[in-house]
Amino acid sequence: MSFTTWFSFFCAASLIAISPGSGAILSMSHGLAYGVKRASVTILGLQFGLLLVLIIAGAGVGSLLLASEAAFSVVKVLGALYLMYLGVTQFFSQGGNDVPLRNQGTEECSHVPSFRRRVLTGFLTNASNPKGIVFMVAVLPNFINSQAALLPQLTILAITMVIVDTAVMHSYAFLAASMQDLLRDAKAQRMQNRVFGAVLVLIGASLFFVKRDAAASVS
């Protein structure tokens, strides 16, 4: 893979990561609620989900998925419902005892979801997103040389994408965590839960409008 091809993908990966989506909203939500250190676990899960999407797209499974209306519809509905579930759950969180607070000057929180649950939440958020699969199926072929070995190219692209996305998601989490002192009281917490919850529901609902032929129109 030439440096020019890699750098072009790096730029594309940066734009993809920076674009607001379910991963960014989840990173900000957990950064605000639990702090950057604990949000890092969620971001780890996001990267596992992103890797799965890259493998699906790179292995050609994504193309088969897009070719089957039934299979694509199942993935789309499950992904949409999962994001909407996360959004509704957060929207109705009341703050106070229901929302974890870092003790002043420390990273200690109460009512923090377990390590496994945070990883799983991040993983399912990316892995169940058909929009990501559609986009990767459309984008990856543009950076792969069909005359060269596929695995080394996919490895380079996957490592690049994960590093870029990890950095951007941590930036979102840090930005949100820096505002925690301003949102420490229960009323402010309820407000941020309403905002993040509503955005997740809207993003989930938007997945119902993702079309199977979207990749063809992009590429």
Give the model confidence (pLDDT) of 143-179 as tens digits: 878 788 878 888 899 999 999 999 999 999 998 888 7
Round to whole Å and give the CA distance between 158 and 84: 28
Angstrom distances, CA of residue 159 to CA of 4, 154, 188, 212: 17, 8, 38, 27
- Mean pLDDT, the chain, rounded, equals 78
Give me the pLDDT at residue 151, please. 84
Number of CB atoms found within 10 A of residue 200's CB: 25
Return the higher-pLDDT residue of 61 and 42.
42
Query: Locate tokens 């991040």: which residue?
Result: 122
Look at residue 91 and tell me whether its pLDDT is greater than 90: no
The 8-class DSSP code of residue 68 comes to -
Angstrom distances, CA of residue 9 to CA of 6, 127, 219: 5, 21, 15
Round to whole Å and give the CA distance between 216 and 36: 38
Give me the pLDDT at residue 66, please. 63
The 8-class DSSP code of residue 179 comes to T
